[in-house]
Amino acid sequence: MASNILPSAFRPLVDFVYPPRCPLCGEGIAAGPGLCAACWEGFDFPGEPACSLCQTPLSQGASDSVCRHCLAHPPRHAGIAAAALYNEPARQLVLRFKHGGRIGLAALMGRLMASRLADIPGDSLLIPVPLHRTRLWQRGYNQSALLARTIAKHSGHAVRVDALQRIRATPKLGGLGRVSRAEALRGAICVRAGRREDIEGRHVILIDDVLTSGATSTACTAALLEAGAKSVRIACFARVVEDETPGTEAIPGAA
């Protein structure tokens, strides 16, 4: 109890000496983690109507609740929960977090993701998309694992950050088409042998920062279902909508 009270007592002094600032524009804000009002207004958030399977926005008055891609290629996952749509402000936040070493942004991004997961079963297991060990050594952290831990803190769900492993290094996916992405990930991701018992019979929430073509999440979903997961739902901070954002696959941070 005392350990929680002490930081709270000093927080006004800390904020006075080091006032919280918006991580995108640098403007002062009332409290962190968060964004200023102007930057919040720049975000696009998922709404209705949207595809019931992948959350892709649909045109007003659409006669079907499933998008054309999901009708042609029914996904194996149980749905997608995205905190935001991938636009320029979301891209900048992801770049700072993923490539700029701003790991403190996990608190803001994870909290937004957790707010989209209020309806998931209480026994769901949070599992982040894995990095290959070489990429992990280079970056120093797995951004998806940081998000998973933050979501677990807010939701109370169990998390297994090492359940999936990327056993083969894959090229950067930015700039690759859907087919090339899927081919690059073939056989690259599997469930760690010591975690199969944790996964069997459980609802799994797969955690990632950005969902682009879905190639990585598809490979992860296949591995989790093969290991006995009851269902796999995908939670991401930003969802790329390819039809409305031409060329997004080539934007840094969307890979």
CA distance 212 to 241: 8
Residue 28 in domain: no
Residue 25 in domain: no
**Nearest-CA neighbor of 45 among 105, 87, 3, 94?**
87
Residue 6 in domain: no
Cβ within 8 Å of residue 2, ≥6 positions away: none
Residue 23 in domain: no
Residue 1 in domain: no
Residue 12 in domain: no
Residues pairing with 81 in the sheet? 235
CA distance 84 to 116: 10
**Domain limits at 221?**
42-250
Structurally, the chain folds into a number of domains equal to: 1
Query: Which amino acid does the sequence have at 89?
Result: P
Residue 216 in domain: yes
Residues pairing with 236 in the sheet? 82, 208
Residue 201 in domain: yes
* CATH number (domain holding residue 150): 3.40.50.2020
Query: What is the value of pTM for the model shown?
Result: 0.84
Q: Over its length of 255 residues, how does the chain's per-residue pLDDT go in tens digits?
A: 444 444 544 444 444 445 678 888 877 766 666 788 889 999 999 888 888 888 888 877 665 788 888 888 889 999 999 999 999 999 999 999 999 889 999 999 999 999 999 888 889 999 999 999 999 999 999 999 999 999 999 999 999 999 999 998 877 776 666 777 777 778 889 999 999 999 999 999 999 999 988 889 999 999 999 999 999 999 999 999 865 433 334 444 444
Helix residue ranges per DSSP H, 42-132: 68-72, 88-98, 106-114
Question: What are phi and psi for residue 122, nearest 5 degrees?
Answer: -65, -25
